[in-house]
């Protein structure tokens, strides 16, 4: 069974920085990229560059690197297939398997290559068509829309006179690396479907694509915001007007949550600027249903522009309206939702009020910031009540009944994860603090992890002749001959640079953990690799740190 192309594409579309961060590694932002400790060599200063744009990490010292699966494979000592599974788990992606023999797989790769070549060929034809003297009417349409020759050239617009996109202006669609993957055809006369997309294929997957992402990312990073509009030609005319941090969802509905997650790594605010009609409201609600979770957790802001009834961004620019002002002053999505729902609410309709109240409670109770929660409970209560007294009562009841928000994405350590950590710390102390060895000896006999047990046997051999033979240096030599899977786990124990806390509280705590009976599950990958650095992770929101107090020691 082979891993499906869809699964591979989904993993590729996800931000590699999230994957690396999920393993507990600390990432330092440098412009649009990150720096972290290299895992391919003993790295004292972070030298691994991580780029979400390229979906790749690379070490400038040892010249190794790879994609997220390569990283996980190296970090956890896993083969490609297991590393892929682990990466998919970290991203909550289900791995789809397809029954495919090697011949069929080779055929499929050849098909992808020929599809790319065909796209390039079509692209050249479409471009030439638009320049053809017979395409005067089409060029006039673009001119009437106010599109400059410069914009047409930048976006490589074309025209298709026959075939799948017959009678349509063609807009090339690129993936986030800037590779051509398909087209959108814009109708030039009355015909069914204003926009028509290339058919979904191994190359073209609407949900995973955002039109203009590769051009907009520089400006989005500078302004820390990205504007979403509905139409591809709206993107072009805004770009022409100097608003360059702008993209369009490919097809109706919001992009895949993974795409939203990737985009949110490099900016703070999404600004939704959809058409001023029922379709625009629906598109806004769809986007919020996908991205709202990140906003509730305080990871991103979503602001919503309301355009005048019947207008799209292109109309606004052509009429000389203050689109920039509307964008700059767009309210937060929760204000927009409360106002939108309130506008359609009749205070005589008890059933409708209960319905809206339920929806608002679900949303507002999920806010991780207490201050924001109080603010919105107050606002929503006023909308749902007919007078101030009633509103105050509702708000008071709401606050007292709202559940405490737990920060998501953080799982407390299991008992055996805690134990493995303790065992590692114990050996570390044993190696680096000879004066503690007598005290630690009885506890050392209780280690259970196969890697640590193996190391302990070797360390005992070293000490057989003379205790002073056991030094961090000699322990390092032992670790160097361990099999790769053990070496990966043991490396951090003997590193001379590692910080060692040998205070009384830590020792007592280690002894306590080691005395508890916990059995190691068989065939588990080493969770410690995933836990490294967890202690220094900041907790967003109200700062509620889950887990019990003993974990603070790790
Ligand atoms: Zn390196």
pLDDT digits (tens, 9 = 90+) for 474-501: 888 888 888 877 877 787 777 655 456 6
Is the pLDDT score of 544 beyond 70?
A: no
Is the pLDDT score of 530 beyond 50?
A: no
Rounded CA-CA distance 262/296 in Å is 17
Q: What's the whole-number average pLDDT of the chain?
A: 83
Structure confidence at residue 6 (pLDDT): 85
Most confident of 102-106, 405-409, 429-433, 535-539: 429-433
Ligand 1 center from residue 69 Cα (angstroms): 17
Global pTM exceeds 0.85:
no
Structure confidence at residue 442 (pLDDT): 85
Is the pLDDT score of 541 beyond 50?
A: no
For residue 370, which of 406, 409, 336 has the smallest C-alpha distance?
406
Ligand 1 center from residue 61 Cα (angstroms): 5
Is the pLDDT score of 270 beyond 80?
A: yes
Rounded CA-CA distance 471/469 in Å is 6
Structure confidence at residue 553 (pLDDT): 24
**What confidence tier does 536 reach under pLDDT thresholds 50, 70, 90?**
very low
Is the pLDDT score of 2 beyond 90?
A: no
Is the pLDDT score of 245 beyond 50?
A: yes
- pLDDT above 70 coverage of the chain, percent: 88
Ligand 1 center from residue 75 Cα (angstroms): 12
Select the more confidently predicted residue: 70 or 444: 70
Is the pLDDT score of 67 beyond 90?
A: yes
- pLDDT above 90 coverage of the chain, percent: 37
Taking residues 88-98, report their average pLDDT.
84
Structure confidence at residue 152 (pLDDT): 92
Structure confidence at residue 482 (pLDDT): 82
Structure confidence at residue 287 (pLDDT): 92
Structure confidence at residue 405 (pLDDT): 60
* Strands (E) located in 62-194: 65-66, 97-98, 158-160, 168-174, 180-187
Rounded CA-CA distance 294/300 in Å is 6
202, two tokens: 């191994």
Is the pLDDT score of 140 beyond 70?
A: yes
Ligand 1 center from residue 58 Cα (angstroms): 8
Ligand 1 center from residue 525 Cα (angstroms): 23
Rounded CA-CA distance 332/354 in Å is 23
Other C-beta atoms lying within 10 Å of the C-beta of residue 105: 13
Site of tokens 């000490």: 463
**What confidence tier does 389 reach under pLDDT thresholds 50, 70, 90?**
very high
**What confidence tier does 209 reach under pLDDT thresholds 50, 70, 90?**
very high
Residues with CB under 5 A from ligand 1 (ion): 38, 40-41, 59, 61-62
Ligand 1 center from residue 71 Cα (angstroms): 12
Structure confidence at residue 499 (pLDDT): 58
CA atoms within 13 A on the CB side of 213: 26
Structure confidence at residue 213 (pLDDT): 94
Burial pattern 453-489, b for ≥16 Cβ within 10 A else e, equals ebbbebbeebeeeeeeebeeebbbebbeebeeebebb
Ligand 1 center from residue 63 Cα (angstroms): 6
Structure confidence at residue 495 (pLDDT): 66
Reported as a single tens digit per residue, the pLDDT across 297-354 is 888 899 999 999 999 999 999 999 999 999 999 999 999 999 988 888 887 888 888 8
Ligand 1 center from residue 45 Cα (angstroms): 10
Structure confidence at residue 531 (pLDDT): 38
Ligand 1 center from residue 39 Cα (angstroms): 6
């Amino acid at each position: 069974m082979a891993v499906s192309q869809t699964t591979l594409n989904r993993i590729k579309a996800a931000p590699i920085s999230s994957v690396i961060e999920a393993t507990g590694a600390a990432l330092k932002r440098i412009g649009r990229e990150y720096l972290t400790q290299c895992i391919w060599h003993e790295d004292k200063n972070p030298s691994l560059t991580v780029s979400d744009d390229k979906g790749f990490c690379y070490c400038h010292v040892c010249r190794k690197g790879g994609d997220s699966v390569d990283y996980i494979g190296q970090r956890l000592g896993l083969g490609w297939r297991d590393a892929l599974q682990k990466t998919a788990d970290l991203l909550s992606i289900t791995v789809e398997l397809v029954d495919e023999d090697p011949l069929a797989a080779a055929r499929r790769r050849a098909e992808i290559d020929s599809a790319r070549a065909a796209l390039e060929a079509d692209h050249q034809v479409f471009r030439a068509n638009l320049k053809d003297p017979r395409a005067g009417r089409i060029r006039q349409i673009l001119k009437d829309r106010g599109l400059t020759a410069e914009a047409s050239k930048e976006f490589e617009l074309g025209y298709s006179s026959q075939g799948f996109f017959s009678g349509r202006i063609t807009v090339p669609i690129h993936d986030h690396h800037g590779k051509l993957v398909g087209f959108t055809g814009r109708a030039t006369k009355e015909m069914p479907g204003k926009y028509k997309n290339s058919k979904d294929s191994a190359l073209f997957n609407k949900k995973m694509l955002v039109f203009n992402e590769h051009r907009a990312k520089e400006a989005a990073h500078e302004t820390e915001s990205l504007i979403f509009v509905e139409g591809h030609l709206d993107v072009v005319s805004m770009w022409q007007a100097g608003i360059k941090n702008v993209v369009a969802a490919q097809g109706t509905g919001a992009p895949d949550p993974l795409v939203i997650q990737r985009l949110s790594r490099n900016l703070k605010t999404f600004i939704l600027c959809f058409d001023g009609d029922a379709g625009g409201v629906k598109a806004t609600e769809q986007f919020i249903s996908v991205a709202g979770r990140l906003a509730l957790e305080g990871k991103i802001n979503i602001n919503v522009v309301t355009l005048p009834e019947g207008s799209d961004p292109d109309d606004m620019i052509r009429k000389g309206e203050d689109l920039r002002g509307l964008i700059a002053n767009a309210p937060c999505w929760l204000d927009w939702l409360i106002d939108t729902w309130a506008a359609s609410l009749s205070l005589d309709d008890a059933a409708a009020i209960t319905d809206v109240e339920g929806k608002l409670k679900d949303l507002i109770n999920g806010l991780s910031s207490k201050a924001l929660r109080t603010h919105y409970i107050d606002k929503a209560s006023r909308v749902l009540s007919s007078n101030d007294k009633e509103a105050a009562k509702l708000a008071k009841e709401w606050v007292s009944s709202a559940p405490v928000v737990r920060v998501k994405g953080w799982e407390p350590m299991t008992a055996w994860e805690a134990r493995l950590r303790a065992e590692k710390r114990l050996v570390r102390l044993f190696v680096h603090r000879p004066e503690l060895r007598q005290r630690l000896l009885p506890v050392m006999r209780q280690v259970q992890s196969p890697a640590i047990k193996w190391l302990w046997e070797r360390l005992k051999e070293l000490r057989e002749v003379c205790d002073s033979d056991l030094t961090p240096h000699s322990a390092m030599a032992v670790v160097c001959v361990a099999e790769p899977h053990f070496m990966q786990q043991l490396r951090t124990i003997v590193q001379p640079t590692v910080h060692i806390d040998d205070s009384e509280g830590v020792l007592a705590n280690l002894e306590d953990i080691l005395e508890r009976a916990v059995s190691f599950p068989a065939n588990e990958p080493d969770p410690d690799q995933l836990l490294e650095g967890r202690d220094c992770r900041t907790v967003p929101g109200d700062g509620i740190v889950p887990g019990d107090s003993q974990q603070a020691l790790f």
